[in-house]
Amino acid sequence: MTEHFSISGHLIDNCHQLKQRVYYEDTDFSGLVYHARYLHFLERGRTDYLRCLGCQQSELIGIDDEGLVFVVHRMEIDFKSPARMDDILTIETMTEKAGGAKMVLRQTIENSERRLIEARVTIAVVNRLGRPRRLPEGLAMKFLGPDAAAHSS
């Protein structure tokens, strides 16, 4: 039986899930996913998370006169287990904090219920000139979801 997945993944209970296959180009000479390729998988997860929330990064730059851009400021990654060619990975992304001039996202990568990666990503919110700016409250609420009151600081 063949499974079909939405190209942008889907949201379930404030958590975005994206399926990605591991290709030959993702692996090193040992047949395992090269460590830096996990950054690509995590970025795809974050980008499609935004897309599923109704936020197109290409449109945020023109959201107002100042513009809005997300920039990775800090990333902590724990490598727990390797992935191999042809594995189907599930990249999960959820918001831990959204407000002020930053967001903190939690991401995981799993393969068949086996945790491969845990990451905590701090995103700086900047204007089109690269200067810090506040995340608009309406946008912060999109990231925090229906339980936003419990997450607000």
Which residue bears the tokens 């959820």? 94
Exposure string of 78-102, with b = 16+ CB inside 10 Å and e = fewer, is: eeeebbeeebebbbbbbbebbbeeb
**What amino acid occupies position 55?**
C
Exactly one of 13, 26, 28, 64 is catalytic; which is it?
Answer: 28
Q: List the alpha helices (DSSP H) in 4-147.
A: 37-52, 57-60, 137-144
Bridge partners for 116 per DSSP? none
Q: Rounded to the nearest 5°, which phi and psi values hold at 144?
A: -80, -20
Q: Is 28 a catalytic residue?
A: yes
- Per DSSP bridges, beta strands 88-99 and 102-111 are antiparallel
> How is residue 120 written in tokens?
């905590």
Which residues are identified as catalytic? Answer: 28
